[in-house]
Amino acid sequence: MFAAAPKLQSDLKLEPTRTLKAGAGLVQQFTVSGVPAPSVTWTLNGQPLDGAAGVITSTPELTSLTVKKCSVKDAGQYEVTATNEVGSDTARFSVVVNGPYGLFVVYLFIYLFVFLLLINIFV
């Protein structure tokens, strides 16, 4: 019987770190190969991913993670590992999620600056 170690491959260029805005979507998928068919696990910061962190879809040939709206709790180091009796393969990537208040803070500072400027002009 023929046996082959697992192999994970991404159709997209897998960047070591992905930076997203809060509310943006995240989709990462990998083709999976190996004989016998490997089992696949996903982790975030070393902890198994659960349904709250995103939707994991796995078939014998493909595994994917989908997070519809990222928040800062989705940031961290992701790992996907394919394992069978011959060996294993792991892919890693990090996700940075910028908080939802980035532009709000900028506008607040501009408003305060203009407000203070007007107070100085009219006083």
pLDDT per residue of the chain (123 residues) written in tens, 0 to 9: 689 999 999 876 778 889 999 999 999 999 999 999 999 999 999 999 876 678 999 999 999 999 999 988 899 999 999 999 999 999 999 999 987 665 566 667 777 778 787 777 766
pLDDT of residue 118: 79
pLDDT of residue 28: 92
Pairing of strands 55-58, 47-48: unpaired
Residue pair 88/82 in contact by the 8 Å Cβ criterion? yes
The full length of the chain comes to: 123
Residue pair 14/8 in contact by the 8 Å Cβ criterion? no
Domain that includes residue 84, residue range = 4-122
Q: DSSP E strands: which ranges in 14-86?
A: 17-21, 26-35, 39-44, 47-48, 55-58, 62-67, 76-84
pLDDT of residue 115: 79
Total domain count, the chain? 1
pLDDT of residue 34: 96
What pTM was computed for the model?
Answer: 0.77
Question: What CATH number has the domain bearing residue 109?
Answer: 2.60.40.10
